[in-house]
Structure formats: structure tokens, C-alpha cells
Structure 1
Amino acid sequence: MPEVDLVFPRAWVEFVNPADETEVLRCDLTWLTSSYTCIFGQGCPGIYADAPDVGCCTLGAHFADDEDEERVAGFVDQLTDGLWQHRPTGELRREDWVELDDEGERKTRTVEVDGQRACVFHNRTDFAAGAGCALHALAFTLELNPLETKPDVCWQLPIRRTFREVERTDGTSYTEVSISEYDRRGWGPGGHDLDWYCTGNTEAHVAVEPLYLTSAPELVALMGQEAYDELHRHCEAHVRSRSVLALHPADPR
């Protein structure tokens, strides 16, 4: 099937964060109850046709902030040659794996191998330990969740968290925290140039369980445990009662 249109009916729920009354969570139930799952290494053609083996790791990962970069740096120091195919020889320097983009923002370096450019931490298909992210592999070695070892953007994608300050008519205000689908529009104008993108394609809607269960650790990290517990309750109710209009159109169900 072709990628679905990005505009379609969605079901949303709003609730006050049980752990912070100044926040209102606004969550996309259509997305969170879909059967989406990452299919890297299981048929993913990559976001660019000329780099089918590197998934969405083609452009490298921008760091959310200094804390994000420093956290990752602690794990980069633990990467061995057996986990990281492109680990530089000799003493590891920050510039070996960090670079600036055209706007001066810090991100992971990209390297070109056999005509395919990707994040420096992306191990290719000919690597003895297998293809994929070296920091992801390190997490399993350390018995950690990969969200602990990878840049924030890597483990959050394709869940999108955004913040908005809302002023009520009575003069009070709150912070709206939206949890939604990071579709190709989330990449900005560059999203138009992607040859393929997963969230709107049926090929990636093949999970046995819905996203709010398969991505529970990521959602807890984004929302907090109490807010996730409330979201879980709403998702369960939505699954029991939703109409056809509230289904994600890429979901084969």
C-alpha cells in the first residue's frame, strides 16, 4: 500500500498530569493504540532509497542539550571494537563522534561507507556483531534499556513530545504536553524529500500489541510513571470502544 495521507481523523484525550497539576497531557490515542513498530532489519527500506540498510540513521542524531550529549559520552567511552565498527584507533576524542550541522547545532558525526552515509555509530551489514546502532548493542551488553545509552532523539522517534503554554480565558495558564506521532512533517521541510517513512506505511504496522504497550518504557521516560498509568487506562478504554474513524489508516486492522 502507498503511504497514507497525513491528514485523517484522530482521537485525542486530555488529562491533568497526576504528578504535576500545572501540566495537561494531550495524547493521540489513534497513534498510541496503533500496531506500529520499528522494522529496522526486518524490511525497512530506509528513508533514502540510496541508503536502504541504514534506516533513519542517515543524518546522524542531534543532541537535545548538553546533558543529553554528556550522558551519551559516558557510554561512548564504553564502546569496544567488538561493538562499534567505526571506532577510531587510538585515544577517543569528542570530535571523533560529534560534529556541527550547517546551523552550528551539535550532532553525531556521519561517515560514508560504500556510498551510504550514516551516523558514525551505525554498524553496517558486514560487521561481525551485526548491523545497527553500536550504542543500542551496548545497552544489551550492559543489561540496560537502549533509551539509557542513545541520544534522546533516537529513542523518542517516532513518538513526538511537544510543549505549549496555554492561557485560559480566566487568566490562569498551564503547560500542554502533547504526545503524538512523529510523522514525516516532524522533519520540517526536509520531510518532503524522504523516499520512505515508516509511521504512515502499513509495512510498519505489524506489531501484535499496540504502541502504548510496546513503547511503555519510552512513554514513561517522556511522561512520568503516574501520567503513563493514566494514559494506559485511557488507551485500554479506547481500544474497547473506538470507532473505525479512530483507527490509524496505516493499521491493517
Structure 2
Amino acid sequence: MTDEVGLDFDREWVEFFDPDDPETLVRADLTWLLSRWGCIFGRHPEAGGCPGIEAGQPADGCCLHGAFYTDEADIKRIKRSVKRLTPETWQLHRPWRETIVDDTLENDDGEEEPAKKTAVVDGACVFHNREGFPGGTGCALHQQAIRDGVHPMAYKPEVCWQLPVKRDFKTEHRADGRDVSVTLITEFDRASWGPGGHDFDWWCTSSPLAHTAAEPVYRSYETELIELLGPAAYGRLAELCERREKLGQVAPHPATARAASVRLPAPARRR
């Protein structure tokens, strides 16, 4: 969409060794972590809310294609969470076996491998409560977590609570013969979805509409980043982010810069 910034812009990175694991190097995208991105789902598009990845379906946000499970532990955790849902809190209430389907997912070598994901029903994830449902619009699992007083990541598929933070792993072979494990933390932009990401009618991380949060990502996503990196590594990351904030960014996120220049309204709370 015309309000989005391009994908190829200057980024600033920082890297440090994990205090709890000296064999692991954390490489973090300061341009993303210091951005003012924030989820704007739940507010009408005319009021600066999420337009959705499919034109004409703003109330469905990014829940149209279902979510791939990362592993068996992820599946078992959601299975337990589903037991807490009722027809009053989950619009498409059904047995667990009807919520999970077989699919394929491309691995790091570009090969398709068997994978499991949440079912898609009538054009959106089976756990997505549609607009007008008395129990509330949005993810039934997320809403149940709020009712139970726990963080939504305790009930939602891993990919759902991580987005739009992207974590990758790789091994780097160095000239002195050492192999170094690298954990990469960056933005889950359109390109991160693969070729299909360019077909979205809108994507939040590139849009100034979603870059008006009160806090930078490294603060607003503190709980998620601790889960992804561990407490010690997150603590070090926060220190470095705070230092860069004080010194001033070399390469700020262009969507955040554009949002600040036009004084867009602050986003609603995350769903």
C-alpha cells in the first residue's frame, strides 16, 4: 500500500555474547527494536486501526491463513488451552481434532516438509472470533489468557505471540576455525513471509500507522524477548538499546520517523 515504507533501508545492529551462554552470539536489529511499532488491531481503520492483510477484512487482521505450529510442545500447549474455551468465548467452538490440519512448510534448504497448522474456517483461523461475536472480536485464545490473568503467549501458538519479532538461528564459521552460534533478532517484515508476503494488501511493520506506540519495541515486547533470549541476554540487550536511545539513532526505522513527522494517533492496546 502507498502508506508503507520500502523494505530496503539502512539498519543499525548490535551484537554481544549471551552472558549465560558465552558460545552464543546475539545479533539484534536496533532499528527495529527502537522503533515505535505497536499492534493496532481492534480499532476501526477509519480511526487509525489495522486495515488487515486482506482488503475489506480489517476485523480479521493477520489471522486469515492460520498459524503453523513450531513443534509438538507447541501443539500440546494449545491443546491444553483449548480446553478452557467454551461456546460463549469461542465462536467456532469444536473438538480439538477439528482445529489442526496437515500442511507443508519450506525449510531452510528450500524443501517442503510436513507441518501442522491451525485450521482455516470461512476465510480465517479457527480460533479467530469474527466481528460482532458477543464474546469479543479477535483471538479466542488471547482473550482467554487475559480473562485468566496470564500472558497471551501462554495460550497462543508460538508464531502468533512472536510476531512481528523474528528470531533466527545460524552457525558462522570464523577465520580462526571457530564455529559460533548466532541468534538473530529482527523485524518480521513482508519478505520474512516468503513470496506470499508481497501479496498482502497491507503489512503493519512497514506502515507508519502502526508506528505510534508509547514505548519502543524492546520495552513493549520485554516479556516475549525474555522468552526468546533468556533473562540475562535480554538484560544486556535492554542496556544496549537504552544506551543507543540516549546517544541517538544512526538509522531510525523510516516508518517510525514518518509517523512522528505527521503526528499519527497512538495505537490501541494489543489484542
Q: TM-score, normalised by structure 2?
A: 0.87
1:241 lines up with 2:247 in the alignment = yes
Return the offset for 1:60.
0.3
Within the candidate set 64, 67, 70, 2:73 is matched to 67
Indicate the residue corresponding to 2:37 in structure 1. 36
C-alpha distance in structure 2 between counterparts of 1:102 and 1:247, whole Å: 37
Indicate the residue corresponding to 2:121 in structure 1. 111
1:5 lines up with 2:6 in the alignment = yes
Is the CA contact (8 Å cut-off) linking 1:28 and 1:180 kept in structure 2? yes
Is the CA contact (8 Å cut-off) linking 1:17 and 1:24 kept in structure 2? yes
Query: Partner of 2:242: helix, strand, or coil?
Result: helix
CA offset digits 1:65-109 (Å, max 9, x no partner): 111111111111111112111102xxx242x10012256421000
Indicate the residue corresponding to 2:28 in structure 1. 27
1:121 lines up with 2:127 in the alignment = yes
C-alpha distance in structure 1 between counterparts of 2:39 and 2:189, whole Å: 13
Return the offset for 1:125.
1.3
Q: How is 1:85-104 mapped onto 2 (pairs within 5 angstroms)?
A: 85-88=91-94, 92-94=95-97, 96-101=98-103, 104=114
Return the offset for 1:222.
0.5
C-alpha distance in structure 1 between counterparts of 2:194 and 2:203, whole Å: 13
Query: Partner of 2:196: helix, strand, or coil?
Result: helix
Q: How many residues align?
A: 244
Is the CA contact (8 Å cut-off) linking 1:51 and 1:58 kept in structure 2? no
Query: Partner of 1:250: helix, strand, or coil?
Result: helix
Which amino acid in the other structure matches residue 101 of structure 2? E
RMSD: 1.2
Is the CA contact (8 Å cut-off) linking 2:82 and 2:96 kept in structure 1? no
Hey, which bits of structure 1, 4+ residues long, moved more than 3 A?
none
CA offset digits 1:177-225 (Å, max 9, x no partner): 0000000001101011111000010000010111111110010010001
C-alpha distance in structure 2 between counterparts of 1:13 and 1:51, whole Å: 38
Return the offset for 1:52.
2.1
Cα distance change of structure 1 residues 208 and 93 upon mapping to structure 2, 3 Å threshold: closer
Q: Which moved more, 1:31-40 or 1:42-51?
A: 42-51
Q: How is 1:222-241 mapped onto 2 (pairs within 5 angstroms)?
A: 222-241=228-247
Q: TM-score, normalised by structure 1?
A: 0.93
Is the CA contact (8 Å cut-off) linking 2:104 and 2:116 kept in structure 1? no
Return the offset for 1:246.
1.3
Gaps in structure 1 of 5+ consecutive residues: none
C-alpha distance in structure 2 between counterparts of 1:166 and 1:210, whole Å: 29
Query: Partner of 1:130: helix, strand, or coil?
Result: coil
Return the offset for 1:2.
1.8
Indicate the residue corresponding to 2:88 in structure 1. 82
Within the candidate set 163, 167, 179, 1:161 is matched to 167
Indicate the residue corresponding to 2:180 in structure 1. 174
